[in-house]
Amino acid sequence: MVTEVQTAERVWPTLAPVVFVPHSEGEYQQLVTLLDTLIDVAGENENHPLASLMEVIGVLIEKYEDEHVPELTAI
Protein backbone atom coordinates (compact mmCIF):
# COMPACT_ATOMS: atom_id res chain seq x y z
CA MET A 1 0.00 0.00 0.00
CA VAL A 2 2.94 2.33 0.59
CA THR A 3 3.82 2.20 -3.11
CA GLU A 4 0.25 3.12 -4.08
CA VAL A 5 0.25 6.07 -1.69
CA GLN A 6 3.59 7.24 -3.06
CA THR A 7 2.21 7.02 -6.59
CA ALA A 8 -0.92 8.94 -5.56
CA GLU A 9 1.20 11.60 -3.90
CA ARG A 10 3.21 12.02 -7.09
CA VAL A 11 0.24 12.25 -9.50
CA TRP A 12 -2.34 13.99 -7.29
CA PRO A 13 -1.14 17.55 -8.03
CA THR A 14 -1.98 16.88 -11.68
CA LEU A 15 -5.38 15.33 -10.91
CA ALA A 16 -6.54 17.64 -8.11
CA PRO A 17 -7.78 20.38 -10.46
CA VAL A 18 -9.91 17.77 -12.26
CA VAL A 19 -11.12 15.42 -9.48
CA PHE A 20 -12.52 17.24 -6.45
CA VAL A 21 -15.57 17.55 -4.24
CA PRO A 22 -17.64 20.44 -5.64
CA HIS A 23 -18.54 23.17 -3.14
CA SER A 24 -20.09 25.70 -5.52
CA GLU A 25 -22.34 25.80 -8.57
CA GLY A 26 -19.31 26.63 -10.72
CA GLU A 27 -17.35 23.61 -9.49
CA TYR A 28 -20.44 21.44 -9.97
CA GLN A 29 -20.79 22.65 -13.57
CA GLN A 30 -17.08 21.97 -14.15
CA LEU A 31 -17.59 18.33 -13.09
CA VAL A 32 -20.73 18.01 -15.24
CA THR A 33 -18.75 19.24 -18.25
CA LEU A 34 -15.94 16.81 -17.44
CA LEU A 35 -18.39 13.91 -17.18
CA ASP A 36 -19.97 14.86 -20.52
CA THR A 37 -16.51 14.84 -22.11
CA LEU A 38 -15.63 11.50 -20.55
CA ILE A 39 -18.89 10.02 -21.84
CA ASP A 40 -18.05 11.31 -25.33
CA VAL A 41 -14.66 9.57 -25.10
CA ALA A 42 -15.56 6.31 -23.37
CA GLY A 43 -19.23 5.94 -24.16
CA GLU A 44 -20.82 3.05 -22.30
CA ASN A 45 -17.71 0.86 -22.52
CA GLU A 46 -17.31 -0.41 -18.95
CA ASN A 47 -13.83 -1.69 -19.87
CA HIS A 48 -12.56 1.70 -21.03
CA PRO A 49 -9.56 2.92 -19.00
CA LEU A 50 -11.56 6.01 -17.95
CA ALA A 51 -14.71 4.11 -16.91
CA SER A 52 -13.88 4.20 -13.19
CA LEU A 53 -13.08 7.92 -13.40
CA MET A 54 -16.53 8.47 -14.95
CA GLU A 55 -18.05 6.60 -12.02
CA VAL A 56 -16.14 8.68 -9.45
CA ILE A 57 -17.12 11.96 -11.13
CA GLY A 58 -20.73 10.75 -11.29
CA VAL A 59 -20.73 10.05 -7.54
CA LEU A 60 -19.30 13.51 -6.81
CA ILE A 61 -22.00 15.12 -8.98
CA GLU A 62 -24.73 13.06 -7.33
CA LYS A 63 -23.49 14.04 -3.86
CA TYR A 64 -23.61 17.73 -4.79
CA GLU A 65 -27.10 17.38 -6.26
CA ASP A 66 -28.36 15.53 -3.17
CA GLU A 67 -27.14 18.38 -0.97
CA HIS A 68 -27.88 21.42 -3.14
CA VAL A 69 -30.57 20.72 -5.72
CA PRO A 70 -34.14 20.66 -4.42
CA GLU A 71 -36.25 17.72 -5.45
CA LEU A 72 -39.13 18.38 -7.81
CA THR A 73 -42.53 17.69 -6.34
CA ALA A 74 -45.56 16.58 -8.34
CA ILE A 75 -48.54 18.89 -8.41
Tell me the domain boundaries of the chain. 16-68
Q: How far apart are CA 35 and CA 5, in angstroms?
A: 25
Q: What is the pLDDT of residue 17?
A: 95
Q: What are φ and ψ of residue 6, in 5° steps?
A: -65, -40
Q: What is the pLDDT of residue 69?
A: 84
Q: What is the mean pLDDT of each run of 10 residues along the chain (75 residues)?
A: 94 96 97 97 94 96 93 69
Torsion of CA 27, 66, 8, 55, to 10 degrees: -100
Other C-beta atoms lying within 10 Å of the C-beta of residue 38:
18
Q: What is the pTM of this model?
A: 0.86
Q: What is the pLDDT of residue 75?
A: 66
